[in-house]
A = this chain, B = another copy of it.
Amino acid sequence: MVSAAWLPPEALRAIGSRRAVVRGEGPPVETVVREIAAAGGHVTFNETPTAPADFYLDSGYGSPEGFTLQRSDGVTYVRAGDGNGLLYGFFEVVRRGEAAFGADFGPEEHRPVMRRRMLDHWDNVAVHPVMGQVERGYSGGSIFWDNGKLRDDLDRVSAYARLLAATGINAVAINNVNVHAAEARLLTDRLDDVATIADRFRPYGIRTHLSVSFASPVTLGGLPTADPVDPAVVSWWERAVAAVYDRIPDFGGFVVKADSEGQPGPFAYGRDHADGANLLADALAPHGGVVHWRAFVYNHRQDWRDRSTDRARAAFDHFAPLDGRFRDNAVVQVKYGPIDFQPREPVSPVILAMPNTRLAVEFQVTQEYTGQQKHACYLAPQWSELLNWNGVADIAATGDGVVAVSNVGDDPQWTGHPLAQANLYAFGRLAWNPALDPAAILDEWADLTFGPGLREPLHDILDDSWRTYESYTAPLGVGFMVQPGHHYGPSVDGYEYTPWGTYHFADRDGVGVDRTVATGTGFTAQYPQPWCDVYESVATCPDELLLFFHHVPYTHVLHSGATVVQHIYDSHFAGAEAAERMRTRWHDVTLPDAALHAKVSDLLDEQVRSAREWRDQINTYFYRKSGVPDAHGRRIY
C-alpha cells in the first residue's frame, strides 16, 4: 500500500463535483482530462459542451508552462501557454480546492521562475557493493531499477510523476551521477529501459535525463580516447545522441559528473571543463537537449597535513575562469555551498562569478547530511534562504534552473520518514517560485496530505526543524563532524585526518578554518564585494558562518554575546531539548492512520536519541579540548 502523499482522493474532491471543459493537445492535456474524470468530475474534451461548465481549461495562451487563473461570474478559468501550463494550472486549482470555485478572483498570472525544475536520482542500476541500490538513499530501493534490471512494474513511476507534476517539476535524471558499468550502457544498448521510463514521465510533462560517463566513447564505443577535441569522439557522441533522440524525441539531456571523486573527465586529455561540457552540448543542441555539467570538482585525495589546499576554493578555481566559454545548452550545475550539502554553508561563490554562463543551483532533498530521513528536518527554509540571498536571487530570477537529489525510493511512504514528503513537495514549489514562503508551502502540503487541522502541529514540529538540526550538529558553520562513510551521527574527528578536505582544526585553544586572505587560504577573495569584506573580518562575519571562515579562540565573543564554546554548549543543549519538544508535540496529534502516527513517533524517538548523542559528543569533545566549564553547570560527560 503506497502512500497517496499530497494527492489523496480527498485533495481532488472540489474537482470531482464540477463540470469541466478542456481544450488542448498532447499528453499533459490528456492527463488533466483523465484526472478530472478519475476525480468524478464531468469533462468535455475538445468538443463543444452541451451544458454550461464550472471550470474551463484552455491551452495556447501566453508563455510556455505558464497559465492565467481567474474566476469570474461563477466560472473558473485556466488559460495556459501549453500542455504543461494546463497541467500546472489544474494542480493549482487542486491546491485551492473549494476556494477555486467560490468568490471571483484574478486574473492571476502564473509562470515558473526557473525554466528547468529538476530532480536527480542517484539510483544505481546494479546494486553497488557499498552504496547499494540508491546512493545516499534512505527510502528503500529504487522505483526504477531492481538489482541490475528495469523494474517490471513501473506504476510507481507514474504515481511519482503525478506527484511531481503537482509541484511543478519538469525534469528527472533517472540514474546516479556516479556512472558505473551497468549504468553506462543505458546510453546505448539499454536505451529501451530509458524509453520505457520516459513513457511514464511524458504524460506529466516531465522530460527524462540521463547521467552519462565522460569515458563512454572508450568504454562503450571502443575508441582509444575520449578526448573532447578528437573528431572521432565528437562523431561518436553525435551518433549516440542521435540514436537517443530517434528513440525518445523529447529526451531531456545529460547530467555529467566529470573529474570528480574518481569519475573520468576532460583533465585526462589536458582539456578543461568547458571543452568537456561543450562536446556534449554540441551533440545535444540539434535535438533541443541540454547538458548539466556539475561543478563539484575538487581533490578528494588531499593530505590533511597540507594547510594550503582548501576544498572550498576548488569549484571556483576550476570553473570561474571558464565563464563565457560554455554553450547556451550547457548548464553548469553548482552545489549551493562550496563544500557538500552541509546544514549550513555560505552560498557558493561560483554562483556569483559566472554571469555569462547558464547555471543551475543544486540541493539535496535526500537528507544525506541532515538526518537521513530519520530526523524530521524541513529544508525549505534553508533552500529559500539560499535562493533569496543577495546576488543569488538575481541569478535565480533569470537562471536556467534548480536541481535537487531526490529523496524517493520504493518505501511505502515514498521518502522513508513520512514527514520528509514535505521536502519533496517544497522543493518543487520553490523551484517554481523561490519567492514562496516556506511556511505557506507547508500549509499547502499539510492540507493536501492530511486535510485540514494539522497545520498547527506540523508548523510546531517542522518550521524550525532545520535550525534545530543545525543547533545540535556541527557548530557555527564548521560542517561535517559526521561518521565517515555513511554520514549518520556524530564523529567530531571522523574526517579530521582524512583525504577529503573537510576539517575543523580544533585544538586546545580554538576551532575553525581560516579562509581569509590575510592569514588563511584566501577563499574569501572568491566573493564579490561586499561579501569578501564581510566574510574576511571576524567583526562582520555572521555568527552562523564564523567557523567556516575563521579559526578563533574558544573565548571569542560572538555577535550574540556568547563565547564560542558557551555557544556550542548552549546550542547543543537547546537543540536536543527542541528535538524532545518535537516528539512531545507529535504525541498530541491524532491521525486516522495509527500506523503512520506510530511510524513518525518511532522516528522521533530516534531523532531524540540521536540529538542527545550529538549534544553529548560535541559538548564532551569541546569541554575536553577547551577545559572551559559550562556557565550553567549542565551535565557534560
Contact = CB atoms under 8 A, between A and B. Distances in A.
Interface of A: 304-305, 307, 490-494, 497, 506-509, 616-617, 620-621, 623-627, 637
A508 B616 contact: no
Copies in the complex: 2
Contacts of A625: 507-508, 624-625
Nearest to A637: B305
Given A493-B493, A508-B625, 6 more contacts: A304-B637, A490-B497, A492-B493, A497-B617, A497-B621, A509-B627
Contacts of A304: 637
A564 to B, nearest CB: 15
B497 A624 contact: no
SS class of chain A's interface: helix, strand, loop or mixed? loop
Nearest to A485: B485
B493 A627 contact: no
A492 B625 CA distance: 14
A508 B627 CA distance: 7
Contacts of A497: 490-492, 617, 620-621
Contact of A624 (B494, B506, B616): B506
Contacts of A494: 491, 493
24 contacts: A305-B616, A305-B620, A305-B637, A307-B637, A490-B497, A491-B493, A491-B494, A491-B497, A492-B493, A492-B497, A493-B493, A493-B494, A493-B621, A497-B617, A497-B620, A497-B621, A506-B624, A507-B623, A507-B624, A507-B627, A508-B508, A508-B624, A508-B625, A508-B627
Contacts of A493: 491-494, 621
A637 B308 CA distance: 12
A626 B305 contact: no
Given A497-B491, A497-B617, A617-B497, A508 B626 contact: yes
Contacts of A623: 507
Contacts of A626: 508
Contacts of A616: 305
A320 to B, nearest CB: 30
Nearest to A129: B129
Contacts of A620: 305, 497
